[in-house]
Every structure is written in C-alpha cells, then in structure tokens.
Homo-oligomer: A and B are copies of this chain.
Amino acid sequence: MDESCTIYKTADFIGKRWTLIILLELSKGSGTKRYNELKKAIPGITPKILSERLKELEHEGMIKKRIDSSKFPIKCEYTLTKSGKEFFKIIQDMKKWSLKWKFNNKLCANSSCENCKL
C-alpha cells in the first residue's frame, strides 16, 4: 500500500487543515453558503486557504459552485453534492467513535461550536 491507495488519499484529503471545517459549515442550515458567509463562519481562515480548499472540494466532486454574474458584484454559492452529503455520514461515525473512546475530549464545547449540528 502506498499513496496511490484510495483510502490513503481520502484520509489525506479530509485530514487537511480547514477541509473538514468547511464541510461541516456547509452542512449546517440550508446546505448552501456563499464565499463570504463561509469566511465569516470560520474564524481564522484566510481568503487564500478558503478558496484553495473550496477548489479542492469542488475538484473532488464534494461541493458544487454556482456563480451568479448577472449583476455586479458577482455572487457565488457553494453546495454539498450527493457525494459530499454521503461523506458526512462517515464524519458522523467518526464523531461517535471519538465520543466513545476519547471521553475527556469534549465535542464542540467552545462558543464558536454552539450551533454545530453534528
């Protein structure tokens, strides 16, 4: 087994900093968010990294981008695809595993996590 293995690549991908956070943020509420909404919702992320990760997620087919350029300024929307939503189930399993085995590591205990719908 090496890096060309699908599982390795998958874990590597979602293990990247910010990726999971973006995925989680997108799965809250309506499932669709705009670039600046994400930026506000994710404290500390820089525009460069956010757009980098969004491109990666789109390239993996986990999110879909929609551009409304009919007016100025342009508006962009990002939505979880079916694949992205299904991956979310795996994330939830990871949560269950974490809660079962890491008792001292409380989930989303900080204020910015209060609305986490996981």
Contacts and interface: CB of A to CB of B under 8 A. Distances in A.
Interface centre among A1, A9, A12, A44 (most CB of B within 10 A): A1
Interface of A: 1-2, 4-17, 19-21, 24-25, 42-44, 60-61, 83, 86-87, 89-91, 93-95, 97-102, 105-110, 112-113, 116, 118
Given A6-B105, A90-B94, A101-B83, A1 B15 contact: no
B91 A2 contact: no
With a 10 A CB-CB cut-off, give which of A7, A12, A93 has the most chain B CB atoms. Answer: A7
A110 B7 contact: no
Given A1-B116, A10-B97, 7 more contacts: A1-B25, A7-B95, A10-B98, A11-B19, A61-B101, A86-B101, A89-B93
